[in-house]
Chains A and B, each alone.
Chain A
Amino acid sequence: MLPELGQVALILALLVAALQAVLPLVGAHRGIDAWMRVARPAAFVQLVLVASAFAILTHAFVTQDFSLRYVATNSNSLLPMVYRFTAVWGAHEGSLLLWALILALWTGAVALFSKALPQPVVARVLGVMGIVAVGFLAFLIFTSNPFGRLLPAAVEGRDLNPLLQDPGMIIHPPMLYLGYVGFCVPFAFAIAALLDGRIDARWLRWVRPWTNVAWGFLTIGIALGSWWAYYELGWGGWWFWDPVENASFMPWLAGTALLHSQAVTEKRGSFRGWTLLLAIAAFSLSLLGTFLVRSGVLTSVHAFAADPTRGLFVLVFLGIVIGGSLLLYALRSPDDDDNSRFATASRETLLLANNLLLASACAMVLLGTLYPLLADALDLGKISVGPPYFALLFTLLMAPLVLLLPFGPLTRWQREQPSRPIAMLVPWAGLALGIGIAAFFLAPQGAWKVAAGVVGATWVLLGTLRFLWTRLKNSGSRFTPEMIGMTLAHFGLAVFLVGALLTEGLSRQRELALAPGQSVTLGAHAFRFEGVQRHVGPNYVADTGTVQVSRDGVALGTMHPEKRSYASGGQVMTEAAIAPGITRDLYVALGEPLGGGSWAVRVHVKPFVRWIWMGAVLMALGGFVTATDRRFRRREAAQ
């Protein structure tokens, strides 16, 4: 009975979303106040309905209702309780429902916190979000119903994909979706502004914290995904330039550009058209990401089976949203006005460079990700684009970004004497370069990568500290959350650079056959394989290895990598053993038994790998802190 109620709640939510889309938009166009007023209550009702549907599906998982096809496919009576909750979004239908729920949450939040905005603006923004909700709810109901019954009911479920039975997976999808879907707010704002024909600083001030929060969540979501791939796939890599990863990275790049260009437009009035275009791009790329992941058109290490008709639905929806908003942009884009002129040497120019570099990086990733599809469509053969393509071009594009970054905050708006910020930074550039040269000669291997990482990180760190010092000297100790947020995010980049480049440069890896008692050394670390024992988990049987680790002869401890075989379906999973550390991770994964008690074993020493995710956390924190700035919430008298 309950699942049918869930189904009804979804259908009602679709109807309410349709109301929320049509009435307020028409009302705002015609100036009918009563129609515009529908937007807020409709947003709240939609949230309650979608949340009920989600709660009902969760209930079905917790109580193991195998009469639901979706539950029977993705759960099992042996599944531990915590994974019954996360299994809700473990596969296609449920993760779309999560998408819809998060969209309803953002819509509800906009309805709640938009009291300072004029009625027509609220009506238009909520109306546009209503259109997106209609698209996704229709997609859910017509192609991917999570409440479909299975007759007769299954006695036992097929189990959640073992890869997803993991703590990282509990929060990775919700965080990622909070980011993806959060870009719907600046998108809806941009469409509302285009419909209205005016972009004023007041609205931008209102939308900036939303962009920052969504970007922060997306950053955490991507970092969690990378972390999960690192420890769960058992390959020791943290980023594979895989289509599914790229799908989440493209909106992040566009969103990062958007954060910066919104700041310029809000403060100086420049880049209006560009800011709108980026807002459209960030959300369109989120939708494209959903399409790429859901449709299974690309071969990916993350690829899972999918149904092509669903892909078609998303593709059509994508066409309508992207095509429609770009058409609207072409028809209504604002003329850049002349009172926002700036000289070549100015902070505006630097932020323009930031935007061009990030947008180019985004376009490069998009090209590399879609090129196999394009080649297939043109009958050029089945191809895949290798990671070196992305790594080479991304490095080339990001190097100038890192080089220019410290200049941005130190340069004045509108007009600047180039010698001023250069003079401020020259000593620090010299220091960063000196440390880099030292690193180059000290590095035991990968000297270029290590040196680049050290120079980049110290340069960004020192340049940002220089900015902090200037602020302290000139304006007492007045720091707005906006400035603190920016500083945190830039420090985050420095930390990330250390992590990414030092890990790439200094990692050591061996893959070999080890018999019990044999050991392998990587640099100063020795790994002694003691053999494998069998033990039984809640829903799997594991071969657990024992590996004694020592450094320069001093014992560090014991590591237990596992090879699990899950009870249902017999899927085999590698559980790597990781000894984490600030300056290095030790990583041991079991391969296969090679007979006679010996096993294939993979060992890594990965210096500074944690810094990658710590950097991402700092960046996200920067986004959240920026959003708390009071300036964004100041009410202004209606004009």
Chain B
Amino acid sequence: MNPVRKRRLLMVIALLLAAGAATALVAMALQRNVAYLYTPSEVLKGEAGGHARFRLGGMVRAGSFKRAQGSMEAHFAVDDGDAVLPVVYTGILPDLFREKQAVIATGRMNGGVFVADEVLAKHDETYMPKEVADKMGAAHMKHGVPATIDMPAQAQ
């Protein structure tokens, strides 16, 4: 092999190795950090079993929010129209957290209770996260949440 070809071959091998390492690293990082979204009925059917940490999406059930006086521990239930799952969260809830509003909580199941370490509610009172709306399908109509969104408002 002449020197030019040899150098090129080495370059190609180096590039392939780098690309392979990068792909493996990216795949690993993605695998570790994705969180799937499930609704309470899916969780109760055992579909979320494979994932220790996942996101729970649905509506906060009317009348379910409770907090003992002076305590940071909040209890509420997430409802998808077909099933209800109790949730516990310790900390400050987002400003737009309210009963009968969409919510996405991230956390794990612990003995029939979903222990959330993060709770997201939306910036806009008319907005339902698209993925929650998709997941719940017609279910959210049962809660009187409009299926289409008519009053857009957003920031950059």
Contact = CB atoms under 8 A, between A and B. Distances in A.
Partners in one complex: yes
Interface of A: 73-74, 90-92, 95, 158, 161, 163-164, 169, 172-173, 176-177, 225, 234, 244, 248, 293-294, 296-299, 301-307, 360, 364, 367-368, 371-372, 375-376, 381-389, 392-393, 396, 511-513, 515, 569, 571-574, 589, 591-592, 594-596, 598, 600, 602
B45 to A, nearest CB: 14
B152 A91 contact: yes
Interface of B: 22, 25-26, 29-30, 32-37, 55, 57, 67, 69-72, 91-93, 95-96, 104, 120, 122-127, 129-132, 134-135, 149, 151-156
A622 B69 CA distance: 54
Contacts of A388: 29, 32-33
State the majority secondary structure of interface residues on A: mixed
A511 B92 contact: yes
Given A299-B130, A376-B131, A368 B30 contact: yes
B152 A305 contact: yes
Given A305-B152, A367-B26, A387-B33, 15 more contacts: A90-B153, A164-B155, A169-B155, A299-B131, A299-B132, A304-B127, A367-B30, A372-B131, A381-B37, A386-B35, A389-B34, A393-B29, A513-B72, A594-B72, A598-B69
Contact of A299 (B22, B129, B149, B152): B129
Given A293-B154, A389-B29, A381 B70 contact: no
A574 B72 contact: no
Given A571-B96, A572-B96, A301 B120 contact: yes
26 contacts: A173-B155, A173-B156, A234-B95, A248-B156, A298-B130, A302-B155, A303-B123, A303-B129, A304-B123, A304-B124, A304-B153, A305-B124, A305-B153, A364-B26, A382-B134, A382-B135, A383-B34, A383-B37, A389-B32, A389-B34, A571-B125, A572-B95, A594-B71, A595-B70, A596-B69, A596-B70
A244 B92 CA distance: 24
A176 B36 CA distance: 32
B72 A511 contact: yes
A371 B37 CA distance: 14
A326 B134 CA distance: 34
Contact of A90 (B92, B104, B124, B155): B155
A594 B67 contact: yes
B29 A594 contact: no
Contact of A384 (B37, B93, B134, B151): B37
- Most chain A beta-carbon contacts within 10 A, residue among B25, B55, B130: B130
Contacts of B120: 299, 301
Nearest to B39: A382
Given A305-B126, A388-B32, A393-B29, A360 B153 contact: no
A513 B67 CA distance: 12
Nearest to A73: B151
Nearest to B95: A572
A368 B30 CA distance: 8
A169 B156 CA distance: 9
B70 A163 contact: no
Most chain B CB within 10 A, of A307, A382, A591, is at A382
B127 A594 contact: no
A91 B72 CA distance: 35
B122 A303 contact: yes
Nearest to B34: A383
A172 B122 contact: no
